[in-house]
Structure 1
Amino acid sequence: MNHIKFQSDRELDLIAVGRLGIDLNPNEINRPLEESITFTRYVGGSPANIAVATSRLDLKTGFIGRVADDQFGTYITNYLKENNIDTNGIVVDKSGAKTGLAFTEVKSPSECSLIMYRNNAVDLKIEPEDISEEYIKKSKAILISGTALAASPSREAVFVALEYARKHGVVVFFDIDYRPYTWKSEAETAVYYSLAAEKSDVIIGTREEFDTIEHLTSPETKDDFVTAKHWFDYNAKIVIIKHGKEGSYAYTDEGDKVKGVVFPVVPLKTFGAGDSYAGALIYGLINDFNIAKAMEFGAASASIVITTNSCSASMPTVGQIEDFIATAKKE
């Protein structure tokens, strides 16, 4: 068992809330960005990547967000539809806001970076009025991504979604997704992340991201057990703390501690690991996998994605993950 109870009579398995963007990945890798010549366009943004991941794993997935009233907005909406993601929660923004762009740089598998263009980013224009109570109550779970908390009116919209989810027994996944460039200060980040985490059933983040949340209350903690225990005093049932190559640890409100497996691969880049992990983990928990198996699925999905040049386009199917795990266990 995994300690999470999902309503079985819901039309959707998961609704992701937040950022829809464009990734422009260089086709010439292992070189600095200034030497890259051609790029391939992909749908990006952490919640978008996770939504694609869960849909590829045959979860009925929806999305709440805003897209620009331009060609990029049309491309994103069409891509989601092509990947069987329900787009009834997506609003076309008419304010002139633009799609956020991310140029990725892969100097080597261990030297990866981003250049972001997010002035007047449309994903932060989500209004509280965009959040439909009827839509959210159709789902077993929602996914909240931390970047959506970085500015108004998006942050207020997220809290409306959280209130509707708690009202209707919708499980809340909170992917911390800390992006320093979207925030004004560490204090601001800590305040709004904490408020969202208090209303979440499953919290997923790196040790460094949890340190950011604890910036005001317990900056010297850096202890996984103490961190998890704090959130169990609110609504959390599972807290997953990621430690990069060392793997992840899951803590439950019933006192369990589970160490996730690691599948060593030769990576092409590091982008997409966290999103693919989260998508497959969510798939496992919704399908009543025990926590160890759900984490194994997440780790395998992450290992698959980091060996490719894309994030959303490389999200694996259930069969691909199962084959990867079976092969890895034979070696």
Structure 2
Amino acid sequence: MAESAQPFDLITMGRIGVDLYPLQSRVPLTRAETFGGFLGDTAADVAVAAALLGRSAAVLTCTGDDPYEMDCFAIRAARVFWITGTGLSHEPRRSAVLAAFKARGRAGTTVFDLDWRPQSWTDPEEARPYYAEALRHANVAVGTLDECEIATGVREPQACARALLDAGVELAVVKQSTGGVLAVHRDGTTAEIPPVTAESVDGHGGGGVFGGALCHGLLSGWDLVTTVRYAADSPAAAGRSAQEAGVHAEDR
């Protein structure tokens, strides 16, 4: 990207894929008759969700074990840089992720999606020092209770948030599934958003929609409660429209 080019609102870095999902809703997987291919994996889902909200977005990814080819200017110039923890699990991705964090510096907002995938690691303890290193470079951390426990060693939501702040971020967002979302800012501002009651029609893409909506709120300059409530409500509000737009990932 030339330095005169317009910077992206959002660049995400991590996995992309094509996921196969049933085309029938409200039936168990064993009864599904037809399947479709949809965009999948967190980094891609977050970028697409943000783009659907009107943001300019791009994805930085690679194929297999090929090295990332990074545009450091583009990474520094993006208003929000979202990077996922799965890339820390193996080389050469691990070095690329840490290099991207360092290239980003303290420019703009850097979001570390903890994105813990147990199948990517031989031992959970192996992940913790790499997560700690990544947290030192991020402004915002986002994760489920399981992911926060891997990163911090604690599981209680308030303790998770405090541990993430102590690790270096300014905003900790803890997703608690049926417990809602807790967000704590270093300045003491707190948002506790209860879970949304909704009929589950298609849960795929919930994590990506949440992330894209969170980025939209951060980019809009909304207050913490408004931003987190919008992000928490978006997966339920998206419903089938997320599937039709191709925003698919694991139900997180």
TM > 0.5: yes
The aligned residue for residue 196 of structure 1 is 134
Q: Match for 1:207 among 124, 141, 145?
A: 145
TM-score, normalised to structure 2's length? 0.87
Shift of 1:246: 2.1
User: Is 1:184 paired with 2:122?
Assistant: yes
Cα RMSD over matched residues?
2.3
The aligned residue for residue 22 of structure 1 is 18
The aligned residue for residue 127 of structure 1 is 67
Distance 1:127 1:294, change over 3 A: same
What pairs with 1:312-327 in structure 2 (closer than 5 Å)?
A: 313=246
Name structure 2 gaps, 5 residues minimum: none
Q: Match for 2:170 among 191, 212, 237?
A: 237
Count of equivalent residues: 244
Shift of 1:267: 0.7
Shift of 1:252: 0.8
Contact 1:272/1:306 (CA < 8 Å) preserved in 2?
A: no
Comparing 300-309 and 198-207, the one that deviates more: 300-309
Identity of aligned residues (%): 24
What is the one-letter code of the residue matched to 1:172?
A: T
The aligned residue for residue 322 of structure 1 is none
Distance 2:237 2:137 in 1: 32
Distance 1:285 1:198 in 2: 20
The aligned residue for residue 149 of structure 1 is 88
Shift of 1:27: 1.8
Distance 1:284 1:304 in 2: 16
Residue-by-residue CA offset, 1:32-74 (whole Å, 9 max, x unaligned)? 544433211111111100000111111111221124xxxxxxx
The aligned residue for residue 98 of structure 2 is 159
User: Is 1:284 paired with 2:223?
Assistant: no
User: Is 1:260 paired with 2:193?
Assistant: yes
Distance 1:246 1:233 in 2: 23
Distance 1:237 1:208 in 2: 20
Distance 1:194 1:232 in 2: 11
The aligned residue for residue 40 of structure 1 is 36
Contact 2:47/2:59 (CA < 8 Å) preserved in 1?
A: yes
- SS of the counterpart of 1:249? strand
User: Is 1:223 paired with 2:223?
Assistant: no
What is the one-letter code of the residue matched to 1:201?
A: N
Shift of 1:234: 4.2
Contact 2:144/2:174 (CA < 8 Å) preserved in 1?
A: yes
Q: Higher strand proportion, which one? A: 1
- SS of the counterpart of 1:241? strand
Distance 1:235 1:11, change over 3 A: same
Name structure 1 gaps, 5 residues minimum: 1-8, 68-121, 316-331
Residue-by-residue CA offset, 1:85-111 (whole Å, 9 max, x unaligned)? xxxxxxxxxxxxxxxxxxxxxxxxxxx
Structure with greater Cα Rg:
1
- SS of the counterpart of 2:116? coil
- SS of the counterpart of 1:189? helix
Distance 1:265 1:232 in 2: 32
- SS of the counterpart of 1:12? coil
What is the one-letter code of the residue matched to 1:282?
A: C
Comparing 275-284 and 306-315, the one that deviates more: 306-315
